[in-house]
Chain A
Amino acid sequence: MTTTGSTDRIPAALRTEALEQLLTERGLIDPNVMDKFITNYETNVGPLNGATVVAKAWTDPEYRQRLLDDGTAAIKELGFAGSQGEHIVVVENTASIHNVVVCTLCSCYPWPVLGLPPSWYKDPAYRARVVREPRKVLSEMGLELADDVQITVHDSSSEVRWLVLPERPDGTEGLSEDQLVQLVTRDAMVGVAKVQAP
């Protein structure tokens, strides 16, 4: 039984295949539906969605305000909604305020805008430590923050999901919205990096 580990545990890949067979041959699941889920998260639902939201907020002050006032509605304006996005709160990083997001209890993450979470977000070290020593964790991950920057960590313990609106970097004044989209990274929208000018 899989709740107990043992040295002769069958590898996950083989157990996955076995489980899929068992459910498919009884007609309980449809492998074509599985394929659609997988393809959707590999190609459609990813951080490009969030980057689109961020670039619009950087170039449209009224949209930015709507986004900060009601993230879910403003994100839905751009067509992004769905699982793990029932209620999204957007917080803004500035030169003096830095927000960073975690889920210590599992790995809750705003799927409609960022897709599925990356390895570091799901790793025990990040889940355990960023709520205890965020400045040190961010430094390990390559983000050095000045001593006077106020850090707020958001632990996503309910169905509320958090999205960071990163600070727009200097030197990007002449860029179009489409060009800005290309600069915005997943890591900046979780709060473990800053957006860099090209």
Chain B
Amino acid sequence: MDGIADMGGTEGWGRTLPPSSEEPVFGEPWQGRAFALTLLSIRVSGFNADAFRHAQERLDRSAYLDEGYYGRWLNACELMLTDSAILAPAAVDARARNLRGEQVEEPPIPEPAKPDYAPTAAGSLRAVDAAPAFATGERVRAKDMSPAGHTRLPGYVRGHTGVVELIQPAALLPDTHAHFQGENPQHVYSVRFGSRELWGPDAEPFALTVELFESYLEKTG
């Protein structure tokens, strides 16, 4: 989907943060708790890694950005749990208010409604019987499409032409896996693009590779 998460090439973010070798893994204790809670909640809610990423990209701008990386994990975690009716939508807010001394009635526990989903194997790599549709060195174009649901086709490469650099192990397709509509494994290609193809004649000279699933690509001829 074309949302806040698809950041490649977007403007208005200011300078990059300076690297620091002193940075702790979790800057504040809640960040570690949110990290662990989220990893466990993917299982509790019956979700998968792609559905978790889709939960993140469904957050609004404020929920995605305001409390940083683990803030968006926390918000996506709650969204997964409410989607699966493990929690009522108002449950976390109500409990948090009670924790800080308010007297709030908490909503009843709903009847869980987990997605009808089970993986066929661990991880994301899968065997695909069909031969790859594209060969190393072949020119390919990233399709110019804007799916309403989850995709791992970044906006900034859509419609642009590159060259297949590597054929990576086949993997399940995030576009359907995130929606519990099947693993649909596909071949994955590292496609190399020139900076001027992506950003025009005034771009810095550099190359970029990005992993694209077979259904994201079309022949140029």
Contact = CB atoms under 8 A, between A and B. Distances in A.
Nearest to A118: B23
A43 B44 CA distance: 26
Given A128-B8, A159-B125, A20 B13 contact: no
Nearest to B44: A28
Interface stretch (A2-10, A49-57, A60-68, A164-172): A2-10
A138 to B, nearest CB: 9
B210 A2 contact: no
A110 interface: no
B33 interface: yes
A187 interface: yes
B155 to A, nearest CB: 9
B120 interface: no
B69 interface: yes
Interface string B4-47: 01111111011111111101111111101111110111001000
Contact of A12 (B21, B30, B44): B30
B154 A104 contact: yes
B26 A38 contact: yes
Most interface-central of A13, A130, A134 (chain B CB within 10 A): A13
B206 to A, nearest CB: 4
A42 B16 contact: no
Contacts of B99: 14, 17-18, 21
Interface string B46-67: 0000000100111111110111
B188 interface: yes
B128 interface: no
A116 B25 CA distance: 7
B16 A141 contact: yes
Interface of B: 5-11, 13-21, 23-30, 32-37, 39-41, 44, 53, 56-63, 65-71, 74-75, 77-79, 81-82, 86-87, 89-93, 95-97, 99-100, 109, 123-125, 152-154, 156, 166, 168-169, 171, 174, 188, 190, 192, 198-199, 203-213
Given A13-B29, A21-B95, A23-B37, 14 more contacts: A12-B70, A18-B92, A19-B74, A22-B92, A23-B44, A105-B53, A118-B23, A122-B68, A125-B15, A127-B7, A128-B7, A158-B174, A160-B190, A187-B21
